[in-house]
Amino acid sequence: MTSHFLQFDRAGSPAEVLQLRERPLTQPQGHEVRVRMRYAPVNPADLNFIEGTYGRAAHPPCIPGHEGCGEVEEVGGAVTSLVKGDVVIPLLGTGCWTQHLTAPEHHFAKLPPQIDAVQASMLRINPVTAWALLKHYATLEKGAWVAQNAANSGVGRALIQLAHHFGLRTLNFVRRADLFDELKALDADAVILDNDDGVAEAKKITGHEPVRLAANAVGGDSAIHLMDVLSSEGIMVTYGAMSRRSLKVPNKFLIFKNLQLRGLWITKWLEQATPAELQKVLDPLTALIEKGGLVTAIDQIVPLADFKEAILRAQQDSRHGKVILDLA
């Protein structure tokens, strides 16, 4: 039997350097399990990894793909935590854009068998990032305001839903007014344009209520808008740089507001988290997915053979959700 996978032999434009390859299947040994992968999203981090602009350098030849979902197909003789048929997500840093993935059993997290496999394939990065943003930097009472930019991103949509679940309110900055209704349908409390007028509107909405936490995925002027909205002693956590512009910090925000600037790279957190710490996050997120309280928008599901179409679509700003590779 053989299996297909995507690989790049040099860094560059993903649609140009990715190639569909084939390899023979091997029997897992010892503590290894072989997983039949079903779905894998195309994330910005995946594209950056292929381009050579990610926080961690690739060493081609590489199989990209930071997350996905599949079922255990075969297990090695020493495996104790998984059995054939278990639904799992890989915890590896990369390598998910493949029909079959073989790795030691501790590199997989088991999920409920009835979970939606497409939604599960997007669990490891964006929802976990949103959870960390809301839980790891500030203790917020119910009704507290949280601000964010790129609110229509995968993390942004997850943050809106999780904040609502936690009883928090969200100020959501976006670049396009046509996104307002769909984000409000996710229980966003306020959706505003990411410009100076939007900052003024945000301040009117919150009035004298504090905004103690902000999530920054953009940088540049957009991050300044968040800093402007934050209250004294507020915390801005930067987890992305979509504008590819450096973080500029006006002196007044440090001197007069004493803002705290933090950073989050969820890949590093996932690597350092103990199995118990990871399960403490995955279990409630999985439960929310099963109840429909956490839904990641899907733009297209594209067959693996049409990967170039998937890549090009994932690079478009006009899409409404994630592009998913169907690995069947």
Helix (H) / strand (E) element for 171: namely strand 169-174
The interaxial angle of helices 275-291 and 126-135, nearest 10 deg, is 110
**Residue 113: exposure state from Cβ atoms within 10 A (0-12, 13-18, ≥19):** exposed
Q: Confirm if 319 and 297 have CB atoms less than 8 A apart.
A: no
- Paired sense of beta strands 87-90 and 69-75, if any: antiparallel
Q: Confirm if 41 and 307 have CB atoms less than 8 A apart.
A: no
- Paired sense of beta strands 2-8 and 260-263, if any: unpaired
What DSSP character marks residue 231? P
3-state SS record for 264-324:
CCHHHHHHHCCHHHHHHHHHHHHHHHHHCCCCCCEEEEEEHHHHHHHHHHHCCCCCCCEEE
Residue of 39, 54, 137, 239 with catalytic role: 54
Name the 3-class secondary structure at 110: strand
**Catalytic residue flag (residue 137):** no
Q: Confirm if 190 and 168 have CB atoms less than 8 A apart.
A: no
Note the helical H segments in the chain: 14-17, 44-51, 117-120, 126-135, 154-166, 180-184, 196-206, 220-229, 251-255, 266-272, 275-291, 307-314
Q: Please list, residue by residue across 168-193, b when 16 or more beta carbons sit within 10 angstroms of its beta carbon and e when fewer do.
A: bbbbbbbbeeebbeebeebebbbbbb
Tokens standing for residue 315? 């690079």
Tokens standing for residue 206? 């919150």
Name the 3-class secondary structure at 182: helix
Instruction: Provide the annotated active-site residues.
Output: 54
